[in-house]
Amino acid sequence: MNIATNGDIDQFDQLMTLNCQQPNSDIIFQKAIENNQLVFVQHVFERYPDLVEIDKKYLDRAISHHHPLMLKWLLEYSGNQIDHIQYALEQCIGSDSLSCFKMLVDQPFFKKDLLSSVEILEILYIYSDHSPIFTFLIYNHYFQSNEIVKKKEKRFKKLKNK
């Protein structure tokens, strides 16, 4: 695991060259992401593209350890898939990672309507009393606090009537 923790590219390449078996790439990538070894992660993904795919657990790792640049790269490498972006937004709010959240909303691929999804509004409503993300959204005029309450009430009324 020192390879991933320290981001030792040469040692990893040597391991890949000498060893016919692939190393446990999942654990290596999780550790590298956790330790914010962006250059190492970039190298491995670009040099060994068949070794591993971008998975939501890697997004979780970057968000839970508050590594916005790592998250940005993972999203870009995955082609900015809308489901990954939506998932990242939900995880940023749920884990209260303001740094990763700010990075997401500053990206050209970010669409304000992503914040209108029911899941996002419900998460914001749950965490609105103490979340710096909620404060950030209100302060920067993404929406007003009563807008969340109204949308949530409207959604629950629709669910009741079904």
Total domains present in the chain: 2
Q: At what angle do helices 56-64 and 25-34 cross, to 10 degrees?
A: 30
Q: Which residues, 6+ apart, have CB-to-CB distance to 120 below 8 Å? A: 86, 89, 90, 93, 114
Is the same domain home to 152 and 121?
A: yes
C-beta separation of 9 from 32 below 8 A = no
C-beta separation of 123 from 155 below 8 A = no
Say how many C-beta atoms besides its own lie within 10 A of residue 10's C-beta. Answer: 8
Is the same domain home to 45 and 68?
A: no
Is the same domain home to 32 and 61?
A: no
Question: Domain boundary at 52, 69, 94, which?
Answer: 52
Is the same domain home to 76 and 109?
A: yes
Is the same domain home to 72 and 136?
A: yes
- Domain hosting 123: range is 56-161
Is the same domain home to 81 and 139?
A: yes
Cα–Cα dist 101/158, whole Å: 29
In the block, tokens 């550790």 appear at 31
User: Is pLDDT of 122 > 90?
Assistant: no
Cα–Cα dist 70/61, whole Å: 9
Is the same domain home to 79 and 41?
A: no
Identity of the highest mean pLDDT range in 58-62, 76-80, 113-117, 126-130:
58-62
The predicted pLDDT at position 81 comes to 86
- Total-model pTM: 0.78
Cα–Cα dist 160/30, whole Å: 42
pLDDT 10s digits, 16-74: 887 655 667 788 889 999 999 999 999 988 888 888 888 899 999 999 999 999 999 99
